[in-house]
Structure 1
Amino acid sequence: MTANGEPQGNPLEKSQENSGDKSKEKQSKTQIVVVGGGAGGLELVRRLGDRFGRDDYDIILVERNRTHIWKPLLHEVAAGSLDANMDEVGYGGHGVRWGYRFFYGTFAGIDREKRLVHTAPLKDEDGREIIAAHAIRYDYLVLAVGGVSNDFGIPGVLEHALFLEDRTQADHFRSKLLNACLRVTHNVAQGQTDSMVRIAIVGAGATGIELAAELYNAAHALRHYGLEVFDETRLKVTILEAGPRILPALPEKLAEAAAAELEALGVEILTDTIVEEVQPFAVKMKDGKTIPAELTLWAAGVKGPDYLASLDGLEADPANRLVVRASLQTTRDDRIFAIGDCCAYTPENAERPIPPRAQAAHQMANQVFENIVCITEGRPLKDFVYNDRGSLVALSRFSTVGSLMGNLIGGRMAIEGRLARIAYTSLYRMHLIAIHGWIKGLALILVGHVNRIVRPKLKLH
């Protein structure tokens, strides 16, 4: 069963022969399909819809979630410090505003010969089919499906660890965290004075480090939300890192400052520690040591989804990321682009592909937009040039560290404290402007300031 990507509610199930003049009119339009509504994908469809409109072009976003939330905020959602309902973006309404169409469905594959994107059947929580499988025609396809956590084949990770790849997982972590805190509160009331919530975080990159700090911030506030005997002293967080230090993307001095801040909070940091197995309530290391953990958060690496390794003949690297040329077109199909965490682009004279960061997805989205415009205007495509603008890590309300890079500062500059916090906050503000435009983006920034004052500090439901 095929379709032209029309939104749910339209007669997609009709065959091409029975769809009449309306279907032929749709076929005459240039159809650009973007799969994945993360930071890069959402920015791209916003710009494409704004640039081309609906008359001669059909811009379609295929996404398995109904709403978008900026991925670097997920650690705050997981700790309960951020109410995602206040910050998420509904794809349907956003598409109406910016001239693209939202197709709610799960990506299931492509047919490069027929130029079709396949989606899986959409089912409700009871397993009842809502919408059948579909095939959506494309003239140009952009894959922005993001990455997934790399378990490195370690036993027990998929079965017993938690992840922070999307809002559903962040909400799940928050629910289990709250239950653990309630359990400890009850145990203390029953006289078990040594009862604690023990959390292991595997991976000392930005996600793991930011979550560790945010957990202590949340624990400090819980006493004001009904858990009178619970505070940060009832929380024990252990960070396990296979490398020699935390935050390898930052200069060593800043990483040491972050480590000192975390240890002052009570975080235990174990470097040069290789995980051998994740058990239901513990993490076992290769040296034989076992760390008790009621919750284990896995943040040890990123790879492409497994299906990218065999996606209708497209070239993928060992980490399941689609290999692209300098134009960000896939090496084996000029009509297909890939951006963000799911693509592997190694600049000339570079040893490794561009790292999976939000700033890379943003820059790639801008480049693919320009190259699609070049295609429609018959101009040569431009090569992607990645500008590393540094890395910033926020340790909740306690501290922010990072490094800025670029022509404005003449290289690399290490920053901490208030300046780093301002720079970190500006990243999200830039994202809001990128997906909403200047007027609504600035309005949302103002609303965000008000919400920090009037809304509860923690989300406990």
Structure 2
Amino acid sequence: MPRTRPDGRKTQIVIVGGGAGGLELVRKLASALDNRDFDLILVDRNTSHIWKPLLHEVAAGSLDANLDEVGYRGHAFRWGYRYFDGALESIDREAQQIIIAPIIDEDGSEVIGRHSIRYDYLVLAVGSVSNDFGTPGVREHCLSLDSRKDADRFRRKLLNQCLRVSRQMTADPNADAFARVAIVGGGATGVELAAELYSAATALGYYGLEVFDEKRLQVTLIEAGPRILPALPEKLSQAAHAELEVLGVRVLTNTKVTAATAESIDTADGESIPAELKVWAAGVKGADFLAHIGGLETTRGNTLVVHDTLQTSRDDRIFAIGDCAYFVPSDGAKPIPPRAQAAHQMADTAYRNIRALIDGKELKPFVYRDKGSLVSLARYTTVGSLMGNLVGGRMAIEGRLARFVYISLYRMHLFAIHGWLKGMSLLLIGHVNQVVRPRLKLH
């Protein structure tokens, strides 16, 4: 395709979604393409980005997202693309336009009306949302960790409950008062949150809650399958299970949730688990607005079907990457899992293929390379598995080495969105912040 259109306008590339994949992609394109010929636009309903695997730390208060987030406007100015605040509503493929929903202020007044943005190439990188599988009461009574807003809401509710317990204990040291949290889903998000909560609880006494400690925290982790962390080898799953129980987490496996109420989580075996805070982390799906959006092919889980080039099955001008993309390798392997490392790899392939389309070259197929899974149990330990050539396949790691690798994954993300110079600067600032800033964010 020519670098400018026949009508003289710039070739416009629009990326919807500023998560791990979308933000990495727009940075790569912006650093490679001449903005005299190309107009790059990032659209996101939020004004800042935070790496989704860190949301459990934001929720527990052990990470201050204000210090770790990336503002889209500043990032856009740094790399030379444009950022639009807004939520995708629909796609007009014939006119090659996306429709952005109106932006409504807190008082209900309209800030920006419904409008359209043209595209020559479109990349959908809108991530995923929690899948409640139609379980009664989940939407009304459970929290999720899909976004920074969700994590902040959980942290406020957790702190309020801890304050209630502290006040009751001050009035009556023998009071039967607890902060009870039920987490549904024994995957990485649920396990990491459970461990992080106990890490945070040990620090609350230093910040004004003198009579509150981890003994007043009751966390129940509920998993429908036979074990937690099914993506890890069974040995590591068992190690994580044991570590959680040492912390004080009640771990229930082979336990199906039938309903959520304002006071509890109900299970198929008749137990009602009391909890002031309930978190649903039992799976993900594509957002509802993606269902057949623009006439594109989608799955029952609202994810967009893509070819091995990551182009959508019904429109070669539209790509999908990350959690919202459904791709099954030609070798018959399972669909690519919704992980940050998959989004990172897809962003690289989408970048190369968009460049190939522009230059009239052959597109390359996406090949997913599983780098393994790592799960952080807060400051206590990290467990996981890596694909290691040195041992001829999957290499199990635990403890300090796993923690180092887990942190390294975030460092790689920083380099991908900021470049090496600023990425290194942010790492140094992060080390300083670990020393000077409070252990918990309580506001």
Q: Taking structure 2 as the reference length, what is the TM-score of the superposition?
A: 0.97
Structure 2 residue matching 1:372: 3-state secondary structure: helix
Mapping 1:42-191, distance limit 5 Å: 42-191=23-172
Structure 1 residue matching 2:39: 3-state secondary structure: strand
Say if 2:423 is the partner of 1:441. yes
Q: Which residue of 2 aligns with 1:333?
A: 315
Separation in 2, partners of 1:391, 1:202: 20
Among 389, 393, 397, the alignment partner of 2:379 is 397
Structure 2 residue matching 1:127: 3-state secondary structure: coil
Shift in Å at residue 27 of structure 1? 6.0
Q: Which residue of 1 aligns with 2:300?
A: 318
Shift in Å at residue 372 of structure 1? 0.4
Contact 1:387 1:406 survives alignment (8 Å): no
- CA deviation map 1:208-266 (0-9, x unaligned): 00000000000000001000000000000000100000000101101111111100010
Among 339, 343, 348, the alignment partner of 1:366 is 348
Q: Which residue of 1 aligns with 2:409?
A: 427
Structure 2 residue matching 1:109: 3-state secondary structure: strand
Separation in 1, partners of 2:325, 2:148: 22
Say if 2:267 is the partner of 1:267. no
Structure 2 residue matching 1:312: 3-state secondary structure: helix
Contact 2:15 2:125 survives alignment (8 Å): yes
Contact 1:53 1:99 survives alignment (8 Å): no
Q: Which residue of 2 aligns with 1:39?
A: 20
Q: Which residue of 2 aligns with 1:277?
A: 259
Inter-CA distance 114–279: structure 2 relative to 1 (3 Å threshold): same
Say if 2:202 is the partner of 1:236. no
Say if 2:10 is the partner of 1:29. yes
Amino acid at match of 1:421: R
Gaps of 5+ in 1: 1-23
Contact 1:187 1:193 survives alignment (8 Å): yes
Q: Which residue of 2 aligns with 1:451?
A: 433
Amino acid at match of 1:37: G
Shift in Å at residue 194 of structure 1? 2.0
Contact 1:61 1:103 survives alignment (8 Å): yes
Amino acid at match of 1:34: I
Q: Which residue of 2 aligns with 1:5?
A: none
Structure 2 residue matching 1:429: 3-state secondary structure: helix
Amino acid at match of 2:347: A
Shift in Å at residue 398 of structure 1? 0.5
Separation in 2, partners of 1:72, 1:366: 19
Separation in 2, partners of 1:140, 1:201: 40
Q: Which residue of 2 aligns with 1:215?
A: 197
Inter-CA distance 293–433: structure 2 relative to 1 (3 Å threshold): same
Separation in 2, partners of 1:129, 1:307: 21
Shift in Å at residue 351 of structure 1? 4.3
Shift in Å at residue 53 of structure 1? 3.0
Which is worse superposed, 378-387 or 120-129? 120-129
Separation in 1, partners of 2:64, 2:141: 26
Q: Which residue of 2 aligns with 1:227?
A: 209
Aligned residues: 438
Inter-CA distance 304–396: structure 2 relative to 1 (3 Å threshold): same
Separation in 2, partners of 1:427, 1:301: 22
Structure 2 residue matching 1:269: 3-state secondary structure: strand
Structure 2 residue matching 1:126: 3-state secondary structure: coil
Contact 2:388 2:395 survives alignment (8 Å): no
Q: Which residue of 2 aligns with 1:377?
A: 359
Amino acid at match of 2:249: V
Shift in Å at residue 288 of structure 1? 1.2
Q: CA RMSD in A?
A: 1.2
Separation in 2, partners of 1:287, 1:113: 53
Shift in Å at residue 359 of structure 1? 0.0
Q: Which residue of 2 aligns with 1:246?
A: 228
Separation in 2, partners of 1:324, 1:381: 14
Inter-CA distance 26–172: structure 2 relative to 1 (3 Å threshold): farther
Separation in 2, partners of 1:238, 1:26: 61
Structure 1 residue matching 2:40: 3-state secondary structure: strand
Contact 1:119 1:133 survives alignment (8 Å): yes
Separation in 2, partners of 1:379, 1:255: 45
- CA deviation map 1:45-90 (0-9, x unaligned): 0001111131000000000101000000100000000000000001
Separation in 1, partners of 2:317, 2:78: 27
Contact 2:18 2:126 survives alignment (8 Å): yes
Shift in Å at residue 340 of structure 1? 0.4
Shift in Å at residue 410 of structure 1? 3.0
Amino acid at match of 1:359: Q
Separation in 2, partners of 1:161, 1:135: 34
Separation in 1, partners of 2:436, 2:169: 32
Structure 2 residue matching 1:93: 3-state secondary structure: helix
Say if 2:326 is the partner of 1:344. yes
Contact 1:71 1:166 survives alignment (8 Å): yes
Identity across the alignment (%)? 65
Contact 2:307 2:313 survives alignment (8 Å): yes
Separation in 2, partners of 1:245, 1:53: 51
Separation in 2, partners of 1:349, 1:318: 22
Q: Taking structure 1 as the reference length, what is the TM-score of the superposition?
A: 0.94
Separation in 2, partners of 1:27, 1:168: 41
Gaps of 5+ in 2: none
Separation in 1, partners of 2:327, 2:292: 18
Shift in Å at residue 271 of structure 1? 0.4
Shift in Å at residue 342 of structure 1? 0.4
